[in-house]
Each structure stands twice: as C-alpha cells, then as structure tokens.
C-alpha cells in the first residue's frame, strides 16, 4: 500500500447522540489531552522509563456547527437548558440526558472507514456566538468525554479503523 493511501481525510460526518449535525464551517477537531505524572527518585538525572502514570485523560471532539439555531437544537447541543414555547433559558442543573455519545465518521484516502467516538460526552463550551454583520454565526460545540462511576478505569473514547 502506498503511504498516501493512509492519509486521513478531513471530510466526514459529525453526530451527536446518534443524529448527524447538518452543516459545519471549519469542520472540527479530535484531541486527547493527558496529564502524565513522572515519578522521581533521588539520583535521577531526568525521566526514567517505566515511572510514568497517566493521572487524567480528557478526550474531546469539537464541532463548528453552522445550522444549530432553533430552540430544539440548543437543547440537543447545550447542557442545562430548558425551552418553554420557544424561549430558551438555563436550568443551572446538568441532567443525565445531557451526556451523549459523539462521533465523527470519515475515511482514509484509500476509502477505508474511520470512526472516532467520544462517550458520555458533555458540551463544555460556553454558549458564545459571534454576531457580526455580513457573516454567519458558527457555534463551537466542545464535547468532552466523561467516565462513568462504574468504569473509572475504562477510557471513554475510541478510534476504529475499518479492516
């Protein structure tokens, strides 16, 4: 296989809670932030192999949505909101239903599928919209995966490469 065939293409579909997001601008990003602690001992001159611990891991799937602007959409994408006949306001309480699985499905240059999933994700981005003349508003949704109480040692993200 040629090296170019392994290139991951940026074109794909983002889904939140199993529902595809329509239009995006600027696509999105997947990141895995880790806090790695080095265990030091007297006499060490630097990091020593085998003495590292992953203390925290934060998987994130960020989506730049272009068409997220109905009352129903806001409730799907932002936590702790309520809708009363088209008026959206905050509830100040995150509900169990605010946690969703978020995916991006794309492919490599040779057509093999790639699926990125962040589980039990909560949009931690602020509700912030640039309201600029002669420009469209793009909402940034920053979904961060959360461990469950029962599975605090099982990562809440995956990248699946089709065979």
List pLDDT tens digits, range 20-70: 998 999 999 999 999 999 999 999 999 999 999 999 999 999 999 998 888
Q: What is the pLDDT of residues 7-33, one digit of tens each?
A: 898 899 999 999 999 899 999 999 999
Report the alpha-carbon distance of residue 8 to residue 26 in Å, rounded.
16
Tokens of 28: 């999105």
pTM above 0.75, yes or no: yes
Pairing between β-strand 100-108 and β-strand 139-144 as defined by DSSP bridges: unpaired
Tokens of 140: 């940034």
What are the CA-CA distances from residue 10 to residues 13, 64, 101, 128, 151 (Å)? 10, 13, 20, 25, 31
């Amino acid at each position: 296989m040629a090296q170019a065939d392994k290139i991951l293409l940026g074109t794909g579909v983002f889904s939140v809670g199993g529902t595809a997001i329509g239009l995006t601008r600027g696509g999105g990003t997947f990141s895995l932030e880790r806090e790695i602690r080095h265990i030091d001992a007297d006499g060490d001159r630097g990091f020593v192999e085998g003495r590292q611990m992953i203390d925290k891991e934060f998987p994130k799937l960020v989506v730049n949505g272009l068409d997220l602007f109905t009352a129903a959409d806001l409730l799907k994408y932002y936590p702790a909101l309520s809708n009363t006949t088209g008026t959206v306001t905050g509830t100040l309480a995150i509900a169990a239903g605010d946690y969703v699985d978020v995916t991006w499905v794309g492919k490599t240059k040779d057509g093999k599928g790639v699926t990125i999933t962040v589980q039990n994700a909560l949009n931690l981005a602020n509700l912030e919209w640039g309201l600029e003349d002669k420009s469209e508003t793009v909402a940034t949704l920053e979904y961060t995966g959360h461990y469950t109480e029962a599975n605090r040692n099982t990562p809440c993200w995956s990248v699946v490469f089709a065979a």
